[in-house]
Amino acid sequence: MKPIWIMAKNTFRETIRDRVMYNILFFAIFIIGISLVISSWSLNQQVKLVKDFGLAAMSIFGLLIAIFIGIRIVYQDTERRTIYMLVSKPIGRWQIILGKYTGLLLTVLVNVVVMTISLLMVDFLIETHIDWGLLSAVLLIFFEIMVVIAWALFFSVFTSPMLSAILTVLIFIIGHLSPALKLFTQLHPENTTNGILLFLYRVLPNLENFNIKTAVVEHLALPPGAITNAVLYGLAYSTILLIFSAQILERRNLK
Amino acid sequence: MLELQNVQKSYATGLFPKKVPAVRGLSLHVHKGEVFAFLGPNGAGKTTTIKLILNLIFPDSGKIFIDGLPHQQKDARKKVGYLPDQPYFYDYLTAREYLIFSAQLYNLPRSLYLERIPDLLEKVGLQGKEKLQLRKFSRGMLQRLGFAQALIHDPDLLILDEPMGGLDPIGRKEFRDIILELKEQGKTIFFSSHILSDAEVISDRVGILNRGELVRQTSLAEIFDLEVESIEISCRWNGTPPPEEWPPNCTGIRQEQQSTVFASDEQSAQQAVQWVLENKGRIVSVTPHRKTLEDIFMEEMQN
């Protein structure tokens, strides 16, 4: 575990010294803050709008941070050959992957905490109390980003940052649309390509599992176990992706 | 300490991949406490061999052992300090942070690496630069830091890929001295180079690699013990005209007041010295010519 933690700390240090991250974070806080102004234009929907806006901003900017730092993290190491200095030391390649992933998660966690504090402050200004229920939506946003980062890291092991960015954004979009695949097979059971569609539905992430924003903002009841299931799904999905990433790096000749 | 047994490695290149051999049937044994120079022209396969030893790339066939352990094992890599041919470091770290990071990856106790880091920085000539970010380092400074991180865990085996590259003459001299000091401490050093003069000064044995094949292994002692190829005698004539004919078994170059005589063996050289003195000349120098590492290297390259 120790080498993983050393790698994680180093990755965290790498990301927090990256100006790109601060720019994104600053912009996220700005957007959350500006929701105060925008919500004042609405009629009787001020509270809802602030929460919707804030949670959406967290989701989008969390994704941007995941993409900008996640896609470069392994590719940069192989491209700049800094990985030579790691692999030549008594550390397994899988530990490098796991360490980098943990470091990225720490960075995202810090960002999510900062954005959450901003959101709760804005909420307090509007409602004069804090809606702690928002935290469950924030928790699942973090787990959603966790899955997206696992994909970014996976692509980063074997493709360039540009391609990784495109593929990660595609995964994010498809991930939010994938329940439609299942729905399609249910509505058209006669379709001959249903097998393929169901396979894709199972392989691609279902990021809608993590989307409880509307329910939280509207104070609707969630299905029993929805949060626990989403957390377990996020953990299992990320673990599988990390195993694949580590396997690819294990077999790779570092030319 | 380091053993390669019939190691083969080829790369597939091109649109329709064709395997190009990079290392061909390489076998060698570097003994404990030895300085082994791995020589060869650019593209000979030196860096590929080093990457194979460090498990950065995988051999198609053959075996590699570090102190008797298969090179893939972490315990084997614990015994190795590696300096790459290009300094590849995280440029957002300071020199001190990088050395701490390296020490932690070797699982060194904190008290030990905190004590060792200032000494190492001084040894490689980077004292006072510990708080500078690596992005502000010159190539030579990075090379020095690379050497420091290779030594951080006091390894038994040092693998140095072109260690003198990027260094000025002072840096090269300092690195040579460090290598000789490490040798005195009983460390095993395997280094690649195409600077033959460095290899001649610091190594015990050399291996010459050409097109992925080890074409020669020899000890420096063997080279220095090689028979004298010719003896050069320089002389001055002190105002008398130089003689018209050369002594037996000798050739030479005749100038107005000076001649250079080349004798093929020691006996001819003695006769040549006698000949100079008899003709009222003065001996300036007598220099025996042996094969140098460069001659051997060039011979192998031409073969």
pLDDT digits (tens, 9 = 90+) for A73-90: 777 787 778 888 888 899
- Burial label for A202, CB within 10 Å (0-12, 13-18, 19+), is exposed
pLDDT score recorded for residue B135: 86
Quote the mean pLDDT of chain A.
86
CA distance B144 to B150: 10
pLDDT score recorded for residue A197: 83
pLDDT in tens, B144-154: 899 899 999 99
Q: Which residue of A has its CA nearest to B49?
A: A255
Q: Which helix (H) or strand (E) holds B70?
A: strand B69-70
pLDDT score recorded for residue A103: 92
CA distance A91 to B124: 26
Please state, as a whole number, how many other Cβ atoms lie within 10 Å of the Cβ of residue A40: 11
State the amino acid at position B214 in one-letter form: L
State yes or no: pLDDT of B110 exceeds 70.
Answer: yes
Give the pLDDT band of residue A57 (cuts 50, 70, 90): confident
The pLDDT of A176-185, averaged and rounded, is 84
B77, A254: Cβ pair inside 8 Å?
Answer: no
Distance from CA of B172 to the nearest CA of A (A): 22
Give the pLDDT band of residue B157 (cuts 50, 70, 90): very high
Does the CB of A171 have a partner CB in chain B at under 8 Å?
A: no
CA distance B212 to A183: 59
B74, A92: Cβ pair inside 8 Å?
Answer: yes
B56, A13: Cβ pair inside 8 Å?
Answer: no
pLDDT score recorded for residue B66: 92
**Cβ-proximal residues to B229 (8 Å cutoff; 6+ apart), any chain:** B289, B290, B291
Give the pLDDT band of residue B227 (cuts 50, 70, 90): low
Q: Which residues of A touch B51 (CB under 8 A)?
A: 84, 254-255
Q: Name which residue leads in pLDDT, B92 or B159.
A: B159
- Chain A, residues 88-107, CB within 8 A of chain B, namely 88-92
Please state, as a whole number, how many other Cβ atoms lie within 10 Å of the Cβ of residue A179: 15
pLDDT in tens, A197-236: 888 888 888 888 898 888 888 888 888 888 899 999 999 9
Angle at B116 between CA B112 and CA B118, to 5 degrees: 140
Cβ-defined contacts of A182-190 (< 8 Å, 24+):
none
Q: Kindly report the length of chain B.
A: 303
Task: Answer yes or no: CATH 3.30.43 is held by domain B230-290.
Answer: no
Quote the mean pLDDT of chain B.
86
The pLDDT of A114-138, averaged and rounded, is 86
CA distance A232 to B30: 52
Give the pLDDT band of residue B225 (cuts 50, 70, 90): low
Q: Which residues of A touch B90 (CB under 8 A)?
A: 10, 14, 82
pLDDT score recorded for residue B226: 64
pTM equals 0.81
Does the CB of A20 have a partner CB in chain B at under 8 Å?
A: no
By DSSP bridging, strand B18-30 and strand B188-193 are unpaired
Please state, as a whole number, how many other Cβ atoms lie within 10 Å of the Cβ of residue A230: 23
| Site of tokens 């060194």 | B108
pLDDT score recorded for residue B53: 93
Give the pLDDT band of residue A239 (cuts 50, 70, 90): very high
Rg of chain A's alpha carbons, rounded to an integer? Answer: 20
Q: Which residue of B has its CA nearest to A11?
A: B90
pLDDT score recorded for residue B224: 66
Task: Identify the weakest region by mean pLDDT among A54-58, A133-137, A215-219.
Answer: A215-219
User: In this structure, are residues B216 and B208 in contact, taking their beta carbons and an 8 Å threshold?
Assistant: yes
Decide if B2-224 and B230-290 have a common fold. Answer: no
Q: Nearest CA to B43 among B12, B14, B20? A: B20
The 10 Å CB-count burial string (b at 16+, else e) for B151-187 is bbbebbbbbbbbbbbbbeeebbebbbebbeebbeeeb
Name the CATH architecture for the domain at B2-224.
Answer: 3-Layer(aba) Sandwich (3.40)
User: In this structure, are residues B158 and B187 in contact, taking their beta carbons and an 8 Å threshold?
Assistant: yes
CA distance B255 to B77: 61
State yes or no: pLDDT of B298 exceeds 80.
Answer: no
Q: Which one-letter DSSP state was computed for residue B18?
A: E
A90, B105: Cβ pair inside 8 Å?
Answer: yes
Task: Identify the weakest region by mean pLDDT among A3-17, B54-68, B160-174, B212-226.
Answer: B212-226
ipTM, 2 dp = 0.79
Q: Which helix (H) or strand (E) holds B258?
A: strand B258-263
DSSP string, A29-55: HHHHHHHHHHHTTSSS-HHHHHHHHHH
| Site of tokens 């996976």 | A154
State the amino acid at position A118 in one-letter form: S
Angle at B223 between CA B262 and CA B291, to 5 degrees: 25
- Burial label for A213, CB within 10 Å (0-12, 13-18, 19+), is buried
Task: Identify the weakest region by mean pLDDT among A33-42, A121-130, B76-85, B260-269.
Answer: A33-42
| Domain layout of chain B by residue ranges | 2-224, 230-290
DSSP string, A52-80: HHHHHHHHHHHHHHHHHHHHHHTHHHHHT
Q: Which helix (H) or strand (E) holds B158?
A: strand B157-161
User: In this structure, are residues B56 and A88 in contact, taking their beta carbons and an 8 Å threshold?
Assistant: yes
CA distance A68 to B78: 34
The pLDDT of B51-78, averaged and rounded, is 90
State the amino acid at position B274 in one-letter form: Q
State yes or no: pLDDT of B22 exceeds 70.
Answer: yes
The pLDDT of B48-57, averaged and rounded, is 92
State yes or no: pLDDT of A95 exceeds 90.
Answer: yes
CA distance B60 to B10: 7
